[in-house]
Every structure is written in C-alpha cells, then in structure tokens.
Amino acid sequence: MPMPAPQGENDVRLRRVLPGELRPPHWPDGFAMRTFQATDAPVLHDLLELVFDDGMNGPFDQWWSRLAGDSEFDPELCFLVFDRDGRLAGAALSWTSGFLKDLAVHPDCRGRGIAEALLWHVFATFAARGASHVDLKTNLFANAAAVRLYRRLGMVEVDWEG
C-alpha cells in the first residue's frame, strides 16, 4: 500500500526500524488485549469516530465495507484493548504492509500506558513477521502528545516516498 500523501504542512511519516530494542507490552491493570473479531466492528468504528472526530470514516456500513474489503486488512493485525467491563479502551489497526493505520485510545482511558503497550505489541508482531519497519502518518502539532510517544519509542521522521 502506498503511503498516504501529506494532507497538511505539518503531516509527517514516522518509522520504527525493526527489530531494534523491543520491550514486551505492559498492559495496565484491568485492561487486556486481543485481536479483532468481526463482531467488534461496531465498537471499533465508534472508537475511531470518537477519537478522530474528522468524519473520514463515514457511516458504519461504508467504513466496514471498505475495511473488510481492503487487501491490506488482516484481523490478526488489529489489536483491541478492553477494560474489565468489556468496553473498548484502545485499538491499533495495522495494514499488512507494516503501516499503522490507526492508533486510538478512548479519552477516558488515556494516560495509563495503553497506547505505548499497543505500539510495543505492533512492533513485536511485525518483527516476528520479518518486517524491516513500521510506519505511520501523523501531524506534528495536532497530535503533539502522540508524536512525543512515537519518538520516545524510537520512531524517526522519514521521507514520504520511503
């Protein structure tokens, strides 16, 4: 899958070279991770709509049809974190090409290490698959807190072309 083109002057492509130093994910108490199941689609859509609030996903039926039909979608590369009550607290949706498409943590669950644990899990998963790197697209200013996390975990800015 080609890397999405920058949409704004502050959009960047970040990369984590693999394997590098990989730490096991530390899931906060009361939270557990598992891979995506088709029955999770509505709650994943709801989380992405809440977190990104940009209307890019569209209505559920259109979003799910696009996602499920995309050749880069693999449910085994979509990691979901649930709290002890079964509510979706966070998600990392990756394409098979080693691109982290979406990383989302519910606003009520931020600051607990869920995003960091998801990132370590994504890195380890792709390293185990023999990938040389994981990329993502973000905005330096609109997503400044996430950029700090990405950089702390070894992600560096690379050219859009790779």
Structure tokens at 72: 């880069």
Residues whose CB is less than 8 angstroms from the CB of residue 78 and which lie 6 or more positions away in sequence, other chains included: 35, 36, 44, 91, 92, 93, 94
> Can you tell me the distance from the alpha carbon of 42 to that of 135, in angstroms, rounded to the nearest whole number?
26
Cβ atoms of 98 and 135 within 8 Å: the answer is yes
Q: What is the CATH number of domain 11-158?
A: 3.40.630.30
How many Cβ atoms are within 10 Å of 44's Cβ, its own excluded? 22
Domain ranges of the chain: 11-158
Give this prediction's pTM: 0.94
pLDDT in tens, 81-113: 999 999 999 999 999 999 999 999 999 999 999
Structure tokens at 95: 């394409």
pLDDT in tens, 120-135: 999 999 999 999 999 9
